[in-house]
């Protein structure tokens, strides 16, 4: 139909526009020029011959991967009359809530700045620059005085904002009626129920092999594991992003995971990328930001205290400090309901030519932010590749966990999905916890905001993140949270306070993620 | 296809409700919006565009101009078009929507008046409507150009000059050169949206406090 054709051509035009500025475009151009030397390229049929050459030499596959990556990340072009803020977030009241939350964060940062008399940004003197360059690989040994710094906000502050989120057009009567949500989230977003989740996560079903279940020691590897590894190697040889994404839905073998994730996220280690990372490193050395101290504090408080991740402390600084200087991250604010904080050069307040974003990447880290990077350190040891993978994971997934939006993978929808699943399939447990003042979301929120990083054992966490990449959605986090509650339901029914409930769910490090998910979705009698 | 906005007058919404509006408990679930075109002759409707605000289903009735002296009748041109797949949840609640001529059940050749019937069966919402309503008609077709006679009727060419030894065929060369020229024009016309990576202004990143606007 006419409408679909014009939609597709609009999408194509948008993707072409985006890809034109990329490395891949320059490389394809160079390849095309070089191919003119080849005998099979004839001048009359120049276009067709070059296209054929690209197909044979594997460049068409790279282009396919790039297009697939764009389709996965960017939302489809919306109605032509829709303003840009509509693309960030269609619901007006959520935009307003995000705006006021951001204002609170800015006020907090500004007051920290004035109280401690520390500038937001400062150019380092040459001596200090040299010192930092020497210490670059062991910044963890530095022990700056961070006692006066406090994190800008913690997940529980954010939860309070979400609890108070209200749609002004919604019947929010004070009296309890069929309209009231029994959980903490009071906005009526559409969430999936178990039949729909079963359809969505069909590869996690009982009849399909999974890594995390069917590779345990009791199961002979000939049944599933060997074949799965063989297919994984074939996918890597083909270098096909879409196939890799489909493949990791059943889990990724440990040996292949680093390459598979890089393929799905369409990350190539070109010299230009390494150069870009070095440029960011130079920016870190030249300017000192207040945000750096927040990052230091966060790493010291969270990752350094974790049994699994403390060894990666230096890597975390190298990634997060560079991340703060990366202006390419600003691109994701087109589809993120959040907006980057703005400031002006000193003395030039109000002049638009002197307006800048602070921090340069527009992302203010909160308590626990470094835990998004820590698990990746197990997979990637080369700083620029680790950096690229983290950046891509952030602009695809992690940003949704700390901004207010109506997106199905946004934290508000995940919270509502968790509460709805619990209420529908474990009503007795839900009622009991509510009665003793232990609303389940108060316990599970911190798990979901951190994508379970730091709560699960690392091998289990990586199996979970395999599925996040495979399904291109964060809904699995809410399903896992509900499955954990279902698993510990018997103990939870006996507690009589929020503190006791927290104690029952304090330690998740022994849990096996895939059996929990499988049982909750496919084997629970409803 | 070009389109031209038609100035319209949107009358206030009228709620359809059984019983007395003041005394009954529930909120109306059906609203009617009349759209008239006081200053425009009967036109061919191309597109209706609006921003939804919690309306679940939309029906549109149209009254068209008839050439005979029969009174114009109301005809349904869109029946129960779904704007919100689940009336109880937020999906589609604040989306921008376009409805085109080819989606209508009847011919929209000589539109006099439109009537939008909005339905929202869910009792959860305090109000519902459609906003920023705009009606479009077909724009003028691109004016046909008249070519000068010598361009459309070229003079029959003279006998081709016999091919000189060792030189390539001139018509082949000219077609190849044309292709290359077309490619270079395409490259020149393209521009990228890539961003330059500097975050400072001329090397300076000495900031004030963060601004709240």
pLDDT by residue, tens only, chain A of 526 residues: 456 667 777 778 878 887 887 778 888 888 888 888 887 777 777 888 888 888 888 888 888 888 888 888 877 777 888 888 898 999 999 999 999 999 999 999 999 889 888 888 888 899 999 999 999 988 888 777 888 888 889 999 999 999 999 999 987 766 666 667 888 999 999 999 999 999 999 999 988 888 888 888 888 888 888 999 999 999 999 999 999 999 999 999 999 999 999 999 999 888 888 999 999 999 999 999 999 999 999 999 898 888 889 999 999 999 999 999 999 999 999 999 999 999 888 887 778 888 889 899 999 999 999 999 999 999 999 999 999 999 999 999 999 999 999 999 999 999 999 999 999 999 999 999 999 999 999 999 999 999 999 999 999 999 999 999 999 999 999 999 999 999 999 999 999 999 999 999 999 999 999 999 999 999 876 5
Q: Which residue of A has its CA nearest to B99?
A: A3
**Pairing mode, if any, of strands B74-82 and B57-64?**
antiparallel
Identify which of B91, B194, B198 has the shortest CB distance to residue A190.
Answer: B91
Q: Which residue of B has its CA nearest to A341?
A: B210
Contacting residues of B for A171, CB less than 8 Å apart: 123-126
Residue B157: per-residue pLDDT: 58
Q: In this predicted model, which residue has the larger pLDDT, A358 or B200?
A: A358
Residue A336 near residue A88, CB atoms below 8 Å: yes
What ipTM did this prediction achieve?
Answer: 0.84
Residue A320: per-residue pLDDT: 95
- Shortest distance between the Cα of A293 and any Cα of chain B, in A, equals 17
Nearest alpha carbon to residue A299 among A146, A115, A460? A146
Contacting residues of B for A123, CB less than 8 Å apart: 204-206
* Cα A266 from Cα A67, distance rounded (Å): 10
- Shortest distance between the Cα of B196 and any Cα of chain A, in A, equals 8
Q: Which of B199, B201, B202, B212 to mutate to test the interface with A (most CBs of A within 10 A)?
A: B199
Q: pLDDT of A143-192, one tens digit each?
A: 778 888 888 899 999 999 999 999 999 877 666 666 678 889 999 999 99
Q: Which of A343, A391, A417 to mutate to test the interface with B (most CBs of B within 10 A)?
A: A343
The per-residue DSSP string of A125-156 comes to: PHHHHHHHHHTGGGGGG-----TT---S--HH
Partner-chain contact B96 A81, CB within 8 Å: yes
Nearest alpha carbon to residue B78 among B49, B51, B55, B100? B100
Alpha-carbon dihedral angle through residues A454, A456, A462, A464, given to the nearest 10 degrees: -120
Partner-chain contact A353 B94, CB within 8 Å: no
Q: 365-424 in A: which are within 8 Å (CB) of B?
A: 406
Partner-chain contact B102 A187, CB within 8 Å: no
**Among all chains, which residue has been given the structure tokens 């402390």?**
A313
* Cα A410 from Cα A420, distance rounded (Å): 15
Partner-chain contact B210 A341, CB within 8 Å: yes
Identify which of A3, A189, A356 has the shortest CB distance to residue B201.
Answer: A356
Residue B150 near residue B14, CB atoms below 8 Å: no
Partner-chain contact A123 B205, CB within 8 Å: yes
Q: 145-174 in B: which are within 8 Å (CB) of A?
A: 172
Confidence class for position B149, pLDDT limits 50, 70, 90: low
Residue B127 near residue B86, CB atoms below 8 Å: no
Nearest alpha carbon to residue A340 among A352, A350, A331, A348? A331
Q: How far is CA A294 from the centre of its chain?
A: 20
Identify which of B53, B96, B199 has the shortest CB distance to residue A357.
Answer: B199
Contacting residues of A for B179, CB less than 8 Å apart: 43-44, 46
- Give the predicted TM-score (pTM) of the model: 0.88
Angle at alpha carbon of residue A407, lines to A403 and A411, rounded to 5°: 45
Residue A351 near residue B195, CB atoms below 8 Å: no
CB neighbours of residue A358 within 10 Å: 27
Residue B207: per-residue pLDDT: 80
Q: Which residue of B has its CA nearest to A325?
A: B199
Strand partners, B34: B115
């Amino acid at each position: 139909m006419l409408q679909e054709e014009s939609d597709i051509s609009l999408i194509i035009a948008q993707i072409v526009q985006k890809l034109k500025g990329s490395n891949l475009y320059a490389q394809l151009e160079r390849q095309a020029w070089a191919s003119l030397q080849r005998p099979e390229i004839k001048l009359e049929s120049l276009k067709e011959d070059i296209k054929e050459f690209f197909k044979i030499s594997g460049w068409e596959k790279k282009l396919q991967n790039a297009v697939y990556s764009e389709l996965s990340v960017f939302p489809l072009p919306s109605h032509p009359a829709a303003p840009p803020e509509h693309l960030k977030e269609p619901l007006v009241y959520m935009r307003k809530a995000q705006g006021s939350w951001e204002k609170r964060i800015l006020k907090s940062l500004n007051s920290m700045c004035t109280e401690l008399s520390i500038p937001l940004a400062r150019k380092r003197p040459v001596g200090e620059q040299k010192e930092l360059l020497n210490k670059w690989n062991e910044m963890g040994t530095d022990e700056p005085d961070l006692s006066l710094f406090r994190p800008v906000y913690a997940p529980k502050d954010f939860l309070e904002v979400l609890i108070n989120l209200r749609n002004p057009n919604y019947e929010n009567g004070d009296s309890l009626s069929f309209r009231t949500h029994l959980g903490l989230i009071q906005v009526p977003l559409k969430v999936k129920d178990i039949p729909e989740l079963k359809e969505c996560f069909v590869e996690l079903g009982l009849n399909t092999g999974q890594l995390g279940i069917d590779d345990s020691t009791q199961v002979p590897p000939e049944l599933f594991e060997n074949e799965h590894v063989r297919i994984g190697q074939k996918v890597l040889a083909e270098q096909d992003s879409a196939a890799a994404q489909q493949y990791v839905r059943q889990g990724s073998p440990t040996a292949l995971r680093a390459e598979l994730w890089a393929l799905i996220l369409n990350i190539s280690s070109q010299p230009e990328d390494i150069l870009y990372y070095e440029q960011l490193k130079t920016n870190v050395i030249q300017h000192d930001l207040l945000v750096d101290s927040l990052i230091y504090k966060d790493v010291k408080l969270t990752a350094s205290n974790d049994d699994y991740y403390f060894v990666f402390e230096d890597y975390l600084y190298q990634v997060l400090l560079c991340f703060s200087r990366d202006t390419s991250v600003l691109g994701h604010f087109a589809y993120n309901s959040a907006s980057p904080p703005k400031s002006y050069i000193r003395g030039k307040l109000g002049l638009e030519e002197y307006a800048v974003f602070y921090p340069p990447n527009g992302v203010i880290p909160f308590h626990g932010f470094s835990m998004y990077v820590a698990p990746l350190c197990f997979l990637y040891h080369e700083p620029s590749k680790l950096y690229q993978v983290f950046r891509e994971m952030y602009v695809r997934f992690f940003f949704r966990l700390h901004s207010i939006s109506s997106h199905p993978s946004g934290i508000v929808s995940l919270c509502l999905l968790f509460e709805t699943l619990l209420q529908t399939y474990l009503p007795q447990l839900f009622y009991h916890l509510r009665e003793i003042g232990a609303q389940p979301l108060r316990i599970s929120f911190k798990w979901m905001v951190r994508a379970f990083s730091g709560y699960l054992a690392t091998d289990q966490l990586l199996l979970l993140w395999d599925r996040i990449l495979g399904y291109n959605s964060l809904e699995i986090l809410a399903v896992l949270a509900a499955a954990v509650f279902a698993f510990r339901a018997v103990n939870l029914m006996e507690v009589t306070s929020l503190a006791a409930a927290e104690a029952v769910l304090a330690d998740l490090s022994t849990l096996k993620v895939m059996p929990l998910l499988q049982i909750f979705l496919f084997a629970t009698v409803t | 296809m070009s389109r031209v906005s038609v100035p319209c007058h949107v009358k206030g919404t009228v709620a359809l409700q059984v019983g007395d509006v003041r005394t009954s408990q529930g909120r109306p679930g059906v609203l009617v919006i009349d759209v008239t075109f006081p200053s425009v002759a009967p036109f061919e409707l191309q597109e209706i565009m609006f921003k939804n605000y919690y309306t679940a289903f939309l029906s549109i009735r149209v009254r068209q101009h008839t050439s005979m002296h029969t009174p114009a009748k109301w005809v349904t041109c869109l029946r129960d078009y779904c704007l919100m797949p689940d009336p109880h949840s937020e999906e589609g609640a604040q989306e921008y929507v376009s409805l085109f001529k080819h989606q209508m059940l009847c011919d929209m050749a000589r539109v006099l008046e439109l009537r939008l019937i909005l339905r929202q069966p869910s009792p959860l919402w305090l109000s519902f409507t459609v906003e920023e309503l705009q009606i479009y008609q077909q724009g003028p077709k691109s004016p046909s150009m008249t070519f000068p006679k010598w361009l459309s009727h070229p003079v029959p060419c003279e006998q081709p000059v016999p091919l000189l030894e060792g030189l390539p065929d001139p018509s082949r060369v000219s077609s190849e050169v044309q292709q290359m020229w077309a490619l270079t024009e395409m490259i020149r016309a393209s521009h990228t949206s890539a961003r330059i990576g500097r975050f400072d202004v001329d090397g300076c990143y000495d900031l004030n406090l963060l601004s709240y606007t």
